[in-house]
Every structure is written in C-alpha cells, then in structure tokens.
C-alpha cells in the first residue's frame, strides 16, 4: 500500500518540480532585467534622486521616535555581519539528515550567500550611487548606496532559510516561511527608516536577491532533476 502511494505521487512530484524549474528559469532573468532598469533609472541624475526616494526619506526622518529608531537599529544589525552566516549554517545543519549531508548543505548555503554578497558588492562599486545626506543618518553606514547590502543580504538569507526547510522534507510550515520572509523584508525597511538608504536602494537589493536566488534554485532543480523522489 505504501509503495502504491509513493508510485502514485511520484508523477505529481515530477510535475511540481518541472513547474518550479520553469518558474525559477523565468524569474531569474526577469528580476535581473528589472534590477538593471532600476539601476539605470537611479543613476541617470545622481544629484537628484527620484521623488519616491526623497519623499519616503523625508517622511522617515520626520517620523521616527526614539523607540522606533532603537528597534530599527536592533533589527538592522541582524542583516549583516556574522548573523546571516550563522543562520544559514544552522539551516544547513537542520536540512541534512546525516552528518555528511549536514556538513555539505551548510557549506553550500554559506557558498551561495558569500557569492551573492560578492556579486552585490561588485554591482554596488560599479554603480557608485551616493547615500542620502549623512546628517539624516540614525546609524553607522559605509560604502555606496545601491543596492542596499543589508536588504540584499537579509533577502538572500531568508530565501536560503526557506530553501533549507524544503530540503529537509515535506510538511514545511507556511507560518515559518512567512515569518522568515517578513524578517528579510523588515531588515530592508529599517535602512530607509534609519536614513542611510533610499527606498530604491532597498528595492534594488530585493530584486538582486530574487535574481540570485532564482539562479540558484534553477541550477539546483536542473542538477537534481534525474534523482528519484525521496521516500515518504
């Protein structure tokens, strides 16, 4: 009976994998194209940011009481430094079922995050967009502005954490995925709240992360396409 159920669900799993592969294959170039267009838009006149940037920046600076600023600082620190790397290592250890799988998965997730950050840094250096006025900053910041490093790193980390949940097996908690996604988005939002990034910097970070995660997903799904489905 159990064997029959596995045989019956195998075609459905193959269809789901095929759809996921197609989705990743379309998402990667679409997000990359949107990122490129956004980059061209924001650098066309560096001295005069788009109205959406200046409007949201001014509103954020004028509406951030001390408690909100303190909370934003605490949250923004989780999107940089060692925290994202520690999270993906823990996710890799959770996703594997044997010691070898845990080690390989943790190493792979670390490599994916590190490579994504390196590409983001290269794009930031090439675009070289100035940050908002330093007198509006409510926390320390360094480097160029587009795309936001915190927004990109947090979004990539969130995507890799969700991927680790699916690698672990079936029965993935939707609540966990939503909470992880909200954390990734919230880290990006704090950069605008704290006055160190324009909104389009954060949006660029999200698009960059989406493109990179889609490339990773497509490569993984294509590479593992011939493997038999895991037993129920």
The per-residue pLDDT for 11 is: 52
DSSP codes joined into one string, 23-83 = HHHHHHHHHHHHHHHHHHHHHSSTTS--HHHHHHHHHHHHS--HHHHHHHHHHHGGGSTHH
Count CB-CB contacts under 10 A for residue 213.
Answer: 23
pLDDT-derived band of residue 17, with 50, 70 and 90 as boundaries?
confident
Q: Structure pTM?
A: 0.90
List, for residues 177-230, the tens digit of each pLDDT value: 999 999 999 999 999 999 999 999 999 999 999 999 999 999 999 988 765 544
Mean pLDDT of the chain: 90
CA angle 108, 231, 178 (to 5 degrees): 55
pLDDT-derived band of residue 9, with 50, 70 and 90 as boundaries?
very low
Closest CA to 167 of 130, 203, 217: 217
Which residue shows structure tokens 């927004």? 151
List, for residues 113-160, the tens digit of each pLDDT value: 999 999 999 999 999 999 999 999 999 999 999 999 999 999 999 999
Cβ-in-10-Å burial (0-12, 13-18, 19+) of 74 comes to exposed
Give mean pLDDT, residues 17-45.
94
Residues 6+ apart with CB under 8 A from 134: none
Check if the beta carbon of residue 63 is closer than 8 Å to that of residue 151. Answer: no
Residues 204, 106: Cα–Cα separation, whole Å: 27
Residues 6+ apart with CB under 8 A from 67: none
List, for residues 164-173, the tens digit of each pLDDT value: 999 887 678 8
Gap between the terminal Cα atoms of the chain: 12
The per-residue pLDDT for 225 is: 75
Quickly count helices (H) and strands (E) in the chain: 8, 0
CA angle 55, 58, 61 (to 5 degrees): 145
């Amino acid at each position: 009976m159990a064997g029959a159920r596995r045989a019956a669900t195998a075609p459905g799993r193959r269809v789901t994998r095929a759809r996921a592969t197609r989705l990743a294959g379309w998402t990667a170039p679409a997000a990359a194209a949107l990122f490129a267009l956004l980059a061209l838009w924001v650098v066309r006149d560096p001295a005069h940011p788009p109205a959406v940037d200046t409007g949201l920046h001014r509103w954020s600076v004028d509406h951030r009481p001390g408690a909100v600023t303190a909370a934003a600082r605490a949250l923004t620190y989780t999107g940089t430094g060692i925290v994202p790397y520690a999270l993906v290592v823990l996710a890799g250890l959770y996703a594997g079922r044997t010691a070898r799988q845990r080690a390989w998965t943790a190493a792979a997730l670390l490599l994916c995050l590190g490579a994504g950050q390196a590409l983001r840094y290269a794009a930031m250096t090439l675009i070289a967009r100035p940050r908002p006025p330093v007198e509006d900053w409510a926390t320390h910041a360094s480097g160029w502005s587009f795309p936001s490093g915190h927004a990109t790193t947090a979004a990539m980390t969130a995507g890799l954490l969700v991927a680790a949940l699916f690698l672990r097996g079936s029965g993935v908690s939707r609540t966990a995925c939503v909470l992880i996604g909200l954390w990734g988005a919230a880290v990006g939002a704090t950069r605008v709240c704290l006055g160190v990034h324009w909104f389009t910097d954060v949006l660029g970070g999200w698009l960059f992360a989406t493109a990179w995660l889609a490339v990773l997903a497509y490569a993984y799904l294509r590479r593992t396409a011939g493997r038999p489905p895991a037993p129920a």
